[in-house]
């Protein structure tokens, strides 16, 4: 999986090896990774702004969205693996 913060970064899979894709075919299936995203779309960002901070008053500035809105990496490795190994087209 390419890192949105550094697309050239390799990831250590659950098999202990470095990979440049999200799916680790020989990895341990007893664990999973759940990724957290600051925001995904501008409408979701507006809802997050409207919700406010923990105190109910703080409203994040639009510059926060601009600073985090660079997750333009599409990772197709799981789809490619599924098509190749299960014959299923997603």
- The tens digit of pLDDT for each residue in 28-83 reads 777 666 667 787 789 999 998 888 888 878 888 999 998 888 766 677 777 777 78
Q: Which residue has the higher pLDDT, 67 or 6?
A: 67
Q: At residue 1, does pLDDT exceed 50?
A: no
Name beta bridge partners: 12. Answer: 18
Name beta bridge partners: 19. Answer: 11
Look at the pTM and tell me if it is higher than 0.85. Answer: no
Q: Which of 22-26, 48-52, 86-90 tops mean pLDDT? A: 48-52
pLDDT of residue 22: 62
Q: Under a CB-based contact definition with an 8 Å cutoff, are residues 26 and 19 in contact?
A: no
User: Quick one: tokens of 55?
Assistant: 């105190």
Rounded CA separation 1/7 (Å): 9
């Amino acid at each position: 999986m390419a890192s949105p913060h550094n697309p050239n970064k390799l990831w250590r899979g659950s098999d202990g090896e470095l990979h440049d894709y999200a799916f680790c075919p020989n990895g341990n299936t007893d664990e999973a990774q759940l990724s957290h995203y600051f925001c995904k779309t501008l409408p979701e960002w507006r809802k997050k702004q409207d919700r406010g901070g923990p105190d109910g008053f703080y409203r994040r500035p639009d510059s926060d969205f601009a600073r985090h809105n660079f997750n333009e990496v599409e990772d197709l490795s799981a789809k490619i693996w599924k098509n190749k190994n299960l014959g299923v087209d997603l």
